[in-house]
């Protein structure tokens, strides 16, 4: 994806208030992010352990999503798979994150959940630039391009639910 600025990121959020988007913690190392290898920018909020964020493109527009996940790791499966990039992790490596829906549905309290890599590094796992604790990813018969297309398709399907 193209490199983003702090202002791009703050302007992109679709499921939190303008005030929240203005205050939330944006990564300080945007200049050093591996943009060419990212399908989305995802990060944890260092000041709010139950929050994370992701920003990606949808039909040419930047879309930022605020996510919440349980700070308690009780009840986690020993192994679990990210529903976006299909990487298997141990322990808390996959979290059920919830996103408030965009627009009126979100203001009424509706949200959508997704099981995804807790560190939001799906793009790097797919490309083999980061290796999960559980060891190598399973052997795929798909090419790298096909795996990237599958992960971005899964992300797009999740985002569609935010607007549904």
Query: Per CB under 5 A, does 122 bind Zn ion?
Result: yes
Interacting span for Zn ion (CB under 5 A) from 38-46, 57-65, 84-92, 107-115: 84-92
Q: Say if residue 97 is exposed, middle or buried (CB neighbours under 10 Å; 0-12, 13-18, 19+).
A: buried
Stretch that binds Zn ion, among 9-17, 63-71, 97-105, 118-126 (CB under 5 A): 118-126
Query: Which C-beta is closer to Zn ion: that of 9 or that of 54?
Result: 54
Least CB distance to Zn ion at residue 129 (A): 13
Query: Which of residues 9, 63, 82, 102 is near Zn ion by CB under 5 A?
Result: 82
Residue 117 within binding range of Zn ion, rule CB under 5 A? yes
Q: Taking CB under 5 A as the rule, which mask of x and - marks residues 31-70 in contact with Zn ion?
A: ----------------------------------------
Q: H/E/C letters for each residue in the chain?
A: CCCCCHHHHHHHECCCCHHHHHHCCCCCCHHHCCHHHCCCEEEECCCCCCEEEEEEEECCEEEEEEEECCCCCCCCCCEEECCCCCCEEEHHHEEEEEEECCHHHHHCCCEEEEEEECCCCHHHHHCCCCCCCCCCCCCCCCCHHHHHHHHHHHHHHHHHHHHC
In angstroms, what is the minimal distance from the CB of 149 to Zn ion?
A: 15
Residue 114 touching Zn ion (CB under 5 A): no
Shorter beta-carbon distance to Zn ion: residue 54 or 84:
84
Which residue ranges make up the site for Zn ion (CB under 5 A)?
A: 82, 84-85, 87, 117, 122
């Amino acid at each position: 994806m193209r490199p983003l600025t702090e202002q791009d990121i703050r302007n992109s959020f679709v499921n939190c208030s303008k005030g929240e988007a203005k205050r939330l913690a944006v990564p300080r190392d945007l200049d050093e992010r591996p943009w060419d290898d990212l399908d989305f920018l995802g990060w944890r909020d260092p000041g709010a352990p139950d929050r994370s964020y992701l920003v990606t493109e949808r039909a040419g527009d930047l879309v930022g999503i605020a996510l919440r996940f349980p700070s308690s790791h009780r009840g986690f499966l020993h192994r679990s798979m990210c529903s976006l990039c299909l990487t298997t992790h141990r322990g808390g490596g996959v979290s059920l994150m919830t996103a408030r829906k965009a627009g009126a549905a979100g203001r009424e309290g509706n949200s959508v959940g997704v099981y995804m890599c807790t560190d939001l590094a799906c793009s790097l796992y797919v490309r083999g630039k980061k290796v999960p604790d559980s060891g190598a990813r399973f052997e795929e018969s798909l090419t790298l391009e096909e795996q990237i297309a599958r992960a971005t398709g899964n992300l797009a399907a999740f985002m569609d639910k935010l607007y549904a």
